Amino acid sequence: MPSLSTLLFASFPLLLIAIIWQNPDPIIKPITGHIAFKIIRQFFETTHCYVSVKTNSARLPHAECFSVSNGKFSRVFIDETSFPVVKEARKGHVIPGLWDGHGHLLPYGELMDSVNLFGAQTMDGVKERLVRYKASRPEAGTAEQWLRGMGWDQANFEGKWPVAKDLEIGDQFKDMYVMLDRVDVHCIWVSEKVLSLLPNPLPEVSGGETPAKGVFCDNAMDIVMKYYPKPSKERKTKFIKDAMWELNKLGIVGVHDAGVFPSELELYEELSADENWNVRVYAMMECETRNTFCPQDIAKISTTNGMLHVRSVKLFADGALGSWGSAMIEPYSDKQSSSGSLLINATTLSKLTHEWATAGYQVNIHAIGDLANRLAVDAFEEALKGLCPGSTLRECQSQHRFRIEHAQIIHPDDQRRMAELGIIPSIQPTHATSDMPYAETRLGKPRTEKEAYRMRSLLPLNPVFGSDFPVEPADIFEGIYAAVTRRSPRTGLDAEGGTKGWYSSETVTIEDALEGFTVNPAYAAFLEGKAGVIETGAYADWIVLEEPLEAVDLESLRKLKVKETWVGGKRVYKRAGPEEAPWVQN
């Protein structure tokens, strides 16, 4: 709404114009018409000026001001004093709102309501956190509401898998329903009470393992999930709200939600119209049964407020490296008997890719190991050959924009094939720095050097960057730091404890990393020109920083905090702190 001063300011010239309008002088009329247009426009716009505005747009890379109307940028400009513009001017430096190209919204919110086991270095440490959590949540652990947690790692239990019995911690934990996700969410560890619900003997599943009594990995997790009491709609709503608030605090305005079930989509649709839904969601749909074709259960959506977009699906080729689940062409270097396992065979993967693409969906395949990545490229190539008669595979790919989620370990041949076809890699820079302590042991040096955690090599493909939250912290500046330094954002150090960076030839520049979290995810979500950029017609999403991003020194980057986050022209987060009086010009 225009302020009273704006109204007064504008009404006088309007009156003047109305008078001049009566006098149709051929020279004066166009001028007054132009002035009238500018003044009237202000009623529908809000103009914001900052010390600097980095736009990510080739049209005007560096601006000072922009106007917002109807949730979108209506003008972007360098402050001209030739005409008085009513504007709010603030200190600070602006960059486009950040996007996480691969995160999990509901699990992130759910984790905030669960036991956080990340970084617990021993079994006793895990138990201590469970006890502390339970003391404040008497309702958790019942048959209706299992006690949930996430972040354990058998590497912290001297390499031994935990067992169900470990969860019987004193009397309080007897008969409790407990389910704890491994750090990479590819295994769960459950209590005896949960085991008692399951069929005996356990059914055989392909593409899954039960490495210990009470631990279920990959497809074997489904055995347990069948009995898991899904959180109520009220709790899910709370998870989403909590998650969005937390993401806004980090400067995140959009996320590619990497696995949304049809049953959740209904809730998303309902909530996305709510004024508290402050993160744009590009949802990758997953059928209730993984790796199937279920177009009848979902619908392509793009809400008018731009807060929810559905036109992609997620398929899964393999599991994770941490639990030797990723499918490799050659055996693991530290487990010669195994080369991981595929969750789907090549025939089915190709068939599903083709079916979904024909139904108009972008296909995003989770692939970590080099065999899984190879099958993903095979499936895409085969689909592209059939999808666009008369055009090249590359042109066809630019219509379908197939992507590989994680794209972690890729054989050089397949890196080349990806480059030729233009397959989009969706990379999590902090996975590289989290896995670097063990990746080389697992893969051996040559494979690590040529295949693993490529970043710079994949830049020509405009890779999407993400965090995979809640698997990693959602903080995008940690991701930028990891990509730019190939060092852990937690410690600032590489795998050797030095500062050179882990396989530092794969580092990227800050500029590249920022593109990975802005314009690249926009393209990979068919939102180019709408997201990740400050230009006319784009969603009015931006964040305010204390300094220009280029000026932040590397070591401060990983701890960088945003001042403000704006989504659709609305401020959704403002950091509390010493108040700076916003100065108003004119």
Ligand X SMILES: *[C@@H]1O[C@H](CO)[C@@H](O)[C@H](O)[C@H]1NC(C)=O
Pairing status of strand 403-406 against strand 362-367: parallel
**Binding of residue 315 to Zn ion (CB under 5 A):** no
Which member of 142, 333, 348, 585 binds ligand X (CB under 6 A)?
Answer: 348
Partner from ligand X, Zn ion, none binding residue 468, C-beta < 5-8 Å depending on class: Zn ion
> DSSP state, 343?
S
Residue 552 is which amino acid?
V
Which member of 218, 318, 370, 468 binds Zn ion (CB under 5 A)?
Answer: 468
Nearest Cα residue to 323 out of 123, 103, 153: 153
3-state helix, strand, coil in the chain (%, to 5): 35, 20, 40
Partner from Zn ion, ligand X, none binding residue 557, C-beta < 5-8 Å depending on class: none
Is 458 within 8 Å of 425 (Cβ atoms)? yes
Q: Which residues, 6 or more positions from 77, have their beta carbon under 8 angstroms from its beta carbon?
A: 60, 63, 64, 65, 66
Smallest distance from the beta carbon of 358 to Zn ion, in angstroms? 26
Pairing status of strand 187-190 against strand 215-218: antiparallel
Distance CA 581, CA 525 (A): 38
Smallest distance from the beta carbon of 420 to Zn ion, in angstroms? 27
x/- mask, Zn ion, residues 95-114, rule CB under 5 A, reads: --------------------
Distance CA 248, CA 98 (A): 9
**Binding of residue 372 to Zn ion (CB under 5 A):** no
Compute CA distances 6 → 69, 281, 283, whole Å: 16, 35, 41
Which member of 345, 391, 398, 399 binds ligand X (CB under 6 A)?
Answer: 345
Partner from Zn ion, ligand X, none binding residue 345, C-beta < 5-8 Å depending on class: ligand X
**Binding of residue 172 to ligand X (CB under 6 A):** no
Q: Which of residues 235-294 bind Zn ion (CB under 5 A)?
A: 258
Is 382 within 8 Å of 342 (Cβ atoms)? no
Nearer to ligand X, 237 or 348 (CB): 348
Q: Where do runs of H (alpha helix) occur along 214-261? A: 221-225, 233-249
**Binding of residue 292 to ligand X (CB under 6 A):** no
Partner from ligand X, Zn ion, none binding residue 475, C-beta < 5-8 Å depending on class: none
> Using omega within 30 degrees of 0 as the cis cutoff, is the peptide bond preceding 201 cis?
yes
Which member of 263, 347, 391, 586 binds ligand X (CB under 6 A)?
Answer: 347
Partner from Zn ion, ligand X, none binding residue 5, C-beta < 5-8 Å depending on class: none
Position closest to ligand X via CB: 345
Residue 540 is which amino acid?
A
Nearer to Zn ion, 463 or 569 (CB): 463
**Binding of residue 5 to ligand X (CB under 6 A):** no
Partner from Zn ion, ligand X, none binding residue 258, C-beta < 5-8 Å depending on class: Zn ion
Distance CA 358, CA 352 (A): 10
**Binding of residue 407 to Zn ion (CB under 5 A):** no
The stretch among 177-185, 343-351, 439-447, 517-525 that binds ligand X (CB under 6 A) is 343-351
Nearer to ligand X, 96 or 207 (CB): 207
Burial class (CB in 10 A: 0-12, 13-18, 19+), 81: exposed
Length of the chain as a residue count: 586
**Binding of residue 541 to Zn ion (CB under 5 A):** no
The stretch among 186-194, 468-476, 523-531, 578-586 that binds Zn ion (CB under 5 A) is 468-476
Smallest distance from the beta carbon of 184 to Zn ion, in angstroms? 9
Which runs of E-coded beta strand occur in 332-431?
A: 362-367, 403-406, 424-427
Smallest distance from the beta carbon of 545 to ligand X, in angstroms? 50
Compute CA distances 421 → 400, 403, 424, 425, 528, whole Å: 11, 11, 9, 12, 20
- Binding site residues, Zn ion, CB under 5 A: 258, 468
- Binding site residues, ligand X, CB under 6 A: 345, 347-348
